[in-house]
Structure 1
């Protein structure tokens, strides 16, 4: 594959989510990524700062405190599928979405990309949850203004410590092209390649 290096990035697009399942013995798997069209913006701040351990009068050791990311994902409109799958709203027999206070929010992977001057930069956050969006709107005035919807997203490490992955300058072409077919999982150390995993098996 061509090894082209980006100098800049811009334009959020291709947001997807994939539902996360963890078995009783701790095996992580994902459903097939589902598009979330209408990406407007994403703003995620790193959660957790390195901490110094002091001994012998100096910073003897730096403790890594990576707790993932917190922030907002703004969309033109939150898809009904996401409301059902991740926010656990229920569709009744008459096609009405019902929000229930006793519903447990579900975990998911969040996939998205930015344009680059050479190639797109594709990301996945492995273990996300989203808070319920607020209700906001206003009447039309002299001109129409699109009312977006915002999800507050918390991305935390999986049990093995994995937080996120993104494509780089030398990412395998097949991995790059198949990014939205299945959630990318790192290969074993002796494998030398990448693998994609989902609930139905490797793709």
Structure 2
């Protein structure tokens, strides 16, 4: 039997506010669950340059230019959306959206079930939520729920890292990976 397995699900979507120091070092707050994930799309952006010599391609150089991330969730709480977009929530629970609000840097973590029943765990390390469209529609013959669709853009950290991932069935994966992965953003070590 093959040890390669396709992914068949997505769940446990979390974010953690990131703070970038002047030297480029990134630290993270504790992760917070966003909502029930329906779909996550990660689209790396790269630039490819070809260099020629002696009338042929001598080298191909790929550069990472960040990645676009699209997330669909089964709804989202206003206070979570406000945190992701940098908005204020007043004492009455009303989200105040201001044109000068700036989304914070975040890390985004989740897991995806594989066909063998084990999970792949992922953290995207440094990104911001981009403004997204909202859609509201009248009820017709049948109700058609609308997912919350959220676009993000992620970049590499100062050290070049942009994503961490591990499969639960990797021989080096620690026992209790589910709990450890979402206890903090992975930084080279797992919590005890």
Q: Shorter-chain TM-score category?
A: 0.7 to 0.9
Query: What residue is the counterpart of 2:30 in the other structure?
Result: 32
Runs of 4+ in 1 over 3 A off after TM superposition: none
| Aligned counterpart, 1:172 | 173
The answer for the alignment partner of 1:182 in structure 2 is 184
Task: Tell me, in whole angstroms, the C-alpha distance in 2 between the residues paired with 1:38 and 1:8.
Answer: 21
Compare 173-182 and 122-131 and name the one that shifted more: 173-182
Q: Secondary structure at the match of 1:84?
A: helix
Contact 1:33 1:183 in 2 (8 A): yes
Residue 174 (structure 1) shift = 4.1
How far has the Cα of 1:62 moved from its partner?
2.2
Partner of 1:64: 62
Contact 1:6 1:117 in 2 (8 A): no
Distance in 1 between residues matched to 2:24 and 2:47, nearest whole Å:
27
Instruction: Report the Cα distance in structure 1 between the residues aligned to 2:107 and 2:69, rounded to whole angstroms.
Output: 15
Equivalent of residue 44 in structure 1, options 30, 42, 45: 42
What's the CA shift for 1:87?
Answer: 0.3
Aligned to 1:84: 82
CA 1:6–1:81 in structure 2 vs 1: closer, same or farther (change >3 Å)?
A: farther
TM-score by length of 1: 0.83
Partner of 1:10, secondary structure, is coil
Ranges in structure 2 where 5+ consecutive residues have no aligned partner:
none
Distance 1:85 1:63 in 2: 38
- In 2, the alpha carbon distance for the partners of 1:79 and 1:51 equals 43
The answer to whether the 8 Å contact 2:25/2:158 transfers is no
Instruction: Give the distance between the partners of 1:133 and 1:38, measured in 2 at CA.
Output: 18
Unaligned residue ranges in structure 1 (runs of 5+): 187-194, 197-201
Residue 145 (1) aligns with residue 147 (2): no
Q: CA deviation at 1:76?
A: 1.5
Measured in 1, the distance between the counterparts of 2:79 and 2:93 equals 13
Question: 1:66, 1:32 → 2: CA distance?
Answer: 28
TM-score w.r.t. the length of structure 2 is: 0.88
